[in-house]
C-alpha cells in the first residue's frame, strides 16, 4: 500500500475539519419523481460497520456494536421500506462468480458516490463545470446495469452504507489537544450514504450522504434516527 506523506494527510484532515460544515447532503436528478406503488426496489445488502476509533485513529471493529447496529438498521429499514411507497426486497451479496458483475457495479456505485461527495457536495471542492447549474445532478453507471441477471424484475437499486467509529476517550482528549494546536483531528466518524439507482438507465437518481450523521446506531432509537436521516427526502415517499 503506497505510503502517504504525513503532511499531506494532515493537511487533508485540517481541511476536512473545516469543510464538514460546508457540505451539501442531497442530490437528486433534475425532475426525477417516483410515484408510490409503481416500482420494485432492490435493497443491496447494506454495508454496516461500527467500532471505535483509537487515539491513533485506527478503526477497531466492535462485534456487539456492529451486530446491534446491523440488526437495528435492518429492522428499521424493513419497517420503513414498507412506507417508502414502493416494494423493497433485500439482496445478499455473496462471493460467488455469478454475482461478480453485481460486485463490480457495487464497487462502481461507491466510486460514483465518492465523486459526488468529493466534487459536488463539498462546496469548496466543487468542480467548476458543476457549479454553473445548481440543480444539475447527472451521475450514472450506464445502461449495462439492467443486464445484470440478479436485477431482473427490479426497477431501482437502493444502496446503503454506514460506518460509525466512536471516538475513544483517548481520542477525545487528543482532539482537545489538537484543537489548541490548530490541527484538525476528527473524533469519531458517523458516515452514511443512501443512493437510489435507476436500473433501466443506470442513473443515480438520488443520493443522500453525510460525514457526520446523527443517531447512535447501537440503540433502537438511534437506528430509527439514522435511517430517517439516510432516507430523508427519499423520492416518492409521500407523507413522512
Partner 1 sequence: MMALSKALLRVAAVTCLASPSLGADTYTLPPYSPAYEPRTLDERGLWMEADVHEKRLAGSPMRIRDDHLSQYVRDVLCRTVGSDRCGGVRVYIVDIPAFNATMMPNGAMSVWSGLLLRVRSEAELGAVLGHEFAHFELRHSLLGFQNRRSNSDLAAWIQVLGAIAQRDVSDTQLSIVGSVYRFNREQEKQADLLGLKYLKSSPYPSRSASEVWQHLMEEADATAAGRMIRKKHQYSAGFFDTHPTELNRADYLLEEALKFNDPGEAGAKEHYKAVEKYLPRFLSSQIRLNDFGGTEYIVSGIAGHTGWTGALLQARADMYVSRGNVRDLITATTLYLNAIDSGYQRPEIYRGLGLGLIKLGRNDDGRKYLKLYLENVPDAQDKKMIQLYIDDAGGE
Partner 2 sequence: MKLLTLLTGLTLVVSTSANAHKLIEPGLREGVAGGVFSVSVPTTMNRLQQKEGKFQEIWTVDGDGLNKIIFFGGVPDGEALLRQRDKKNNPLPRFNSKMLLAEIPAYLETSYRSYYGSPKVNIGEMSPVQFLNQKGIRFDYKYMSVEDEVVRSGMGYATVKEQKLYMIIFEAPEIFFYGRDIGVFEKIASSLRLL
Residue 139's binding partner among partner 1, partner 2, none (Cβ under 5 to 8 angstroms by kind) is partner 2
Binds partner 2 by CB under 8 A, chosen from 80, 178, 183, 191: 191
User: What is the enclosing helix (H) or strand (E) of 192?
Assistant: strand 189-198
Q: Which residues contact 37 (CB under 8 A, 6 or more apart)?
A: 85, 86
Nearer residue to partner 1 within complex by CB, 149 or 181: 181
* Closest to 155 in 3D by CA, of 29, 40, 44, 43: 40
Nearer residue to partner 2 within complex by CB, 86 or 109: 109
Cα 115 from chain centroid (whole Å): 12
Quick one: DSSP state of residue 156?
Answer: E
Binds partner 2 by CB under 8 A, chosen from 67, 79, 118, 133: 118
Contact 158, 42 (CB under 8 A): yes
- How many residues contact partner 2, by CB under 8 A? 49
Binds partner 1 by CB under 8 A, chosen from 36, 37, 61, 233: 61
Q: Which three cell numbers stand for residue 165?
A: 467509529
Between the CA atoms of 214, 123, 120 and 14, what dihedral angle is there, to the nearest 10 degrees?
-70
Binds partner 2 by CB under 8 A, chosen from 65, 137, 139, 154: 139
Question: Should residue 46 be labelled a site residue for partner 2 when binding is judged by CB under 8 A?
Answer: no
- C-alpha distances (whole Å) from 210 to each of 98, 123, 186, 221 are 32, 13, 14, 19
Question: Should residue 47 be labelled a site residue for partner 2 when binding is judged by CB under 8 A?
Answer: yes
Residue showing cell 439514522: 226
Nearer residue to partner 2 within complex by CB, 77 or 141: 141
Residue 213 Cβ, how far from partner 1 at the closest point, in Å?
18
Query: Residues 82 to 101: which contact partner 1 by CB under 8 A?
Result: 93-97, 99-100
Question: Should residue 184 be labelled a site residue for partner 1 when binding is judged by CB under 8 A?
Answer: yes
* Closest to 142 in 3D by CA, of 109, 190, 113, 103: 109
First vs last C-alpha separation in the chain: 45
Binds partner 2 by CB under 8 A, chosen from 42, 50, 62, 105: 105
Nearer residue to partner 2 within complex by CB, 84 or 158: 158
- Please give the residue ranges that form the binding site for partner 2 (CB under 8 A): 1-5, 8-9, 11-13, 15-16, 18-19, 47, 49, 104-105, 107-108, 110-115, 117-119, 122, 124-125, 127-129, 139-144, 161, 163, 189, 191, 193, 202, 209, 211
Amino acid at each position: 500500500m503506497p505510503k502517504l506523506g504525513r503532511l499531506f494527510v494532515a493537511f487533508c484532515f485540517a481541511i476536512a475539519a473545516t469543510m464538514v460544515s460546508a457540505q451539501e447532503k442531497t442530490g437528486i436528478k433534475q425532475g426525477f419523481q417516483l410515484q408510490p406503488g409503481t416500482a420494485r426496489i432492490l435493497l443491496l445488502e447494506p454495508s454496516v460497520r461500527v467500532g471505535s476509533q483509537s487515539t491513533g485513529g485506527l478503526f477497531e471493529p466492535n462485534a456487539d456494536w456492529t451486530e446491534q447496529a446491523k440488526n437495528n438498521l435492518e429492522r428499521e429499514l424493513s419497517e420503513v421500506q414498507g412506507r417508502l411507497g414502493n416494494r423493497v426486497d433485500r439482496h445478499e451479496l455473496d462471493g460467488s462468480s455469478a454475482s461478480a458483475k453485481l460486485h463490480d457495479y457495487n464497487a462502481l456505485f461507491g466510486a460514483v458516490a465518492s465523486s459526488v461527495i468529493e466534487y459536488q457536495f463539498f462546496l469548496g471542492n466543487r468542480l467548476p463545470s458543476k457549479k454553473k447549474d445548481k440543480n444539475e445532478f447527472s451521475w450514472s453507471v450506464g445502461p449495462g446495469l439492467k443486464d445484470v441477471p440478479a436485477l431482473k424484475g427490479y426497477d431501482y437499486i437502493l444502496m446503503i452504507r454506514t460506518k460509525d467509529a466512536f471516538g475513544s476517550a483517548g481520542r477525545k482528549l487528543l482532539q482537545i489537544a489538537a484543537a489548541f494546536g490548530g490541527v484538525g483531528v476528527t473524533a469519531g466518524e458517523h458516515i452514511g450514504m443512501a443512493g437510489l439507482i435507476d436500473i433501466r438507465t443506470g442513473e443515480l437518481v438520488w443520493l443522500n450522504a453525510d460525514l457526520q450523521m446523527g443517531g447512535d446506531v447501537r440503540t433502537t432509537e438511534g437506528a430509527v434516527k439514522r435511517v430517517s436521516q439516510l432516507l430523508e427526502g427519499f423520492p416518492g415517499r409521500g407523507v413522512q
